[in-house]
Chains A and B, each alone.
Chain A
Amino acid sequence: MDTDNAPVPAGPRDVPPPAAPPPPPWQSVQPWQRITVGTPGPEFEALPPGEYAYDVPDTECDGWSTGELAMRFASVRGAKHRYYRQPRQDAARAAVHAASGSVVFAVADGVSSASEAEQGAVAACRAAVERMLDLLDGAGGRVDLRDVACRAADRLGELTRWRLGGKDPEFSEVAGLYATTLVAGVVRPHPEGPVVEVCRVGDSGAWALDRASGRYQQLFPTKTGTDVLLVSSTVTPLPHVPDPLEQTGRRLSPGEVLLVGTDGFADPLGDGDGQVGSLFAAHLARPLPPLWLAHLLDFSRETFDDDRTLLAVWPSAPGGRR
């Protein structure tokens, strides 16, 4: 073969190299960095909770809108529970009552001394939400919040009875297994602005956030107000239902957001006029992605290592703008 006249295969020297394809846009996307407020707490990889806490994820969030209301909630495991291999003991649940367009919600903080606190919190939320939906179906749609709280307490009793193999439980046995705080309520759409009815057992909180000014108006008295010399350590959670039950109601103006949170959020928030209040006021001005709410709520701040749960309900502005 005459190698001089043999065809020369096309090679890289003869063809201009193709232009490198542009990097896919996601290559430049960085993971969300933990938000710190003031002095951060220690950074570490979360440890798994106990074997049988597999049904309690580290973080939960949800969000949706009706024509008149937008709801978001997130619940994140605190640093203390991530470090000491314990599950998140906060919970939140929300549902829309289709016939009335009302949003019913419940937020609970399982008491750490209860051995199944995480289950107590979820059970109380479910029972409260189910009962409120039932009551809204009734004549006039009146929601008796005492009835709701009692139903949640009864559910904890039923769980305990099941746990004890059918034996009628003592009050202390219910509390020892499933004690939890609870804030439960309903937001009803109304042409003049949605109306909130809410009750609580224990020390979780509720606020009306004025979106324009960033001011937080507490709907219940706080345990750590600025005028309190020492922090109170008296909390009476479910299954106890106080008489009278602490409850309140108000109309939300178009510029307000209803917030409901456990003390993991309430304690660092304080009166809301500091950095934590400013952070949330800025991001809660309008409905935000549920995952972003969870990320926000997972901010790091020294000494604040409790589970955090926050639920928000925004009214729709005329024309659907929120």
Chain B
Amino acid sequence: MSETRGVLLPAYVLADESGSMSPYLGDLSDGLTSLCEGLRAEPMVAAKLRLAVLGFSDDVQVRLAVADMRTESTLPQMVIRGLTSYKAVFEDLLQRIPADVQWLRGEGYKVHRPVVFLLSDGQPTDGRSWRSPHAQLTDRSQTPTAPNIIACGIGDARADTMLEVATRPEFAFVAKSGTDLGQAISEFFHSLTSSLVASGHALNSASPQLVVNRPEQFTMAIDEV
């Protein structure tokens, strides 16, 4: 039967769990809580999203598997550990996203192009090795389910790196110099929630589009390079 149960936007939050995030674990947890509560407060929008939360450092660990936030009752718990391997991130997404899209389609849904929100507080510690899986992930001819990537850098993360990670220049942001990192994390999640809600409104309309709101205390990375 080809009748669809709905059209969903798979959204992935990639949060940096490397050691340097240790002072901000509470801010991360608070941000995730506000994200989950914000989506629950918008059940009509949440019905059209499936949210996954992944923690990354030396590898990627699932903190919340692709979930319907209207019914999901557990809060993702982040764990501080290891270094900052971007290679692990993009290799994981290369496997994960096509599999998730296939699974959702198998469940009877149609799927919008997935979106990844990446929050990093530092430069990748794996040199340039991440560029190859990143290129493969974002090349729509190689990966038909290639996601849109929004990259937000705080702390030591550089604007040029965020620009390389993001799939469009206007999707790359860095925290303004001197911004409190805890506040920046809070703003990241605030913006993430509003972007998902706005995108949820714009989906399934005559002009479905991804809406990305710049977090307060962040600037466009393109303005910093």
Contacts and interface: CB of A to CB of B under 8 A. Distances in A.
Query: Are A and B associated in one complex?
Result: yes
Interface in A75-95: 79-80, 83-84, 89
A304 B6 contact: yes
A306 B205 contact: yes
A302 B43 CA distance: 10
A233 B209 CA distance: 6
Contact of B202 (A112, A270, A302): A112
Given A80-B44, A229-B144, A263-B206, 20 more contacts: A38-B5, A41-B47, A112-B207, A202-B206, A228-B110, A229-B105, A230-B101, A230-B112, A233-B209, A262-B206, A267-B204, A268-B3, A268-B4, A269-B3, A271-B2, A271-B3, A273-B2, A274-B3, A302-B6, A303-B7
Contacts of B176: none
B208 interface: yes
Contacts of A230: 101, 111-113, 144-145
Interface in B51-92: none
Nearest to A225: B2
B158 interface: no
Contacts of A19: none
A206 to B, nearest CB: 16
B202 A274 contact: no
Given A83-B44, A303-B47, A111 B6 contact: no
Contacts of A84: 201
Contacts of B3: 268-277
Contact of B145 (A202, A226, A229, A268): A229
B2 A226 contact: yes
Nearest to A117: B206
Interface in A253-275: 262-263, 267-275
A203 B122 CA distance: 43
Ranked nearest first, the 8 interchain pairs of A and B with the lowest CB-CB distance are: A274-B3, A303-B6, A271-B2, A270-B3, A233-B208, A109-B206, A111-B207, A226-B2
Contacts of A112: 201-202, 205-207
B48 interface: yes
- In this complex, the member of B1, B7, B111, B206 whose beta carbon has the largest number of chain A beta carbons within 10 angstroms is B206
A261 B111 CA distance: 22
B101 A235 contact: no
Nearest to B9: A231
A180 B112 contact: no
- In this complex, the member of B4, B48, B201 whose beta carbon has the largest number of chain A beta carbons within 10 angstroms is B4
A189 interface: no
B36 to A, nearest CB: 19
Contacts of A273: 1-3
A113 interface: yes
A231 B110 contact: yes
Q: Chain A at the B interface: mostly helix, strand, loop or mixed?
A: loop
B204 A303 contact: yes
A113 B6 contact: no
Given A83-B44, A268-B3, A271-B2, A113 B207 contact: yes
Contacts of B201: 80, 84, 112
Contacts of B210: 233
Nearest to A179: B207
Nearest to B140: A230
11 contacts: A109-B206, A112-B207, A229-B145, A231-B208, A237-B207, A267-B4, A268-B3, A270-B2, A272-B3, A273-B3, A275-B3
A115 interface: no
Interface string A24-63: 0000000000000011011000000000000000000000
Interface in A210-235: 224, 226, 228-231, 233, 235
Contacts of A271: 2-3
A271 B101 CA distance: 20
Contacts of A203: 206
A316 interface: no
A72 to B, nearest CB: 23
Contacts of A305: 44, 204
Contacts of A269: 3
Contacts of A315: none
A181 interface: yes
Interface string B2-29: 1111111000000000000000000000
Contacts of B208: 231, 233, 235
Contacts of B7: 224, 231, 267, 303
B31 to A, nearest CB: 25
Contacts of B113: 230-231, 233
A110 interface: yes
A206 B145 CA distance: 28
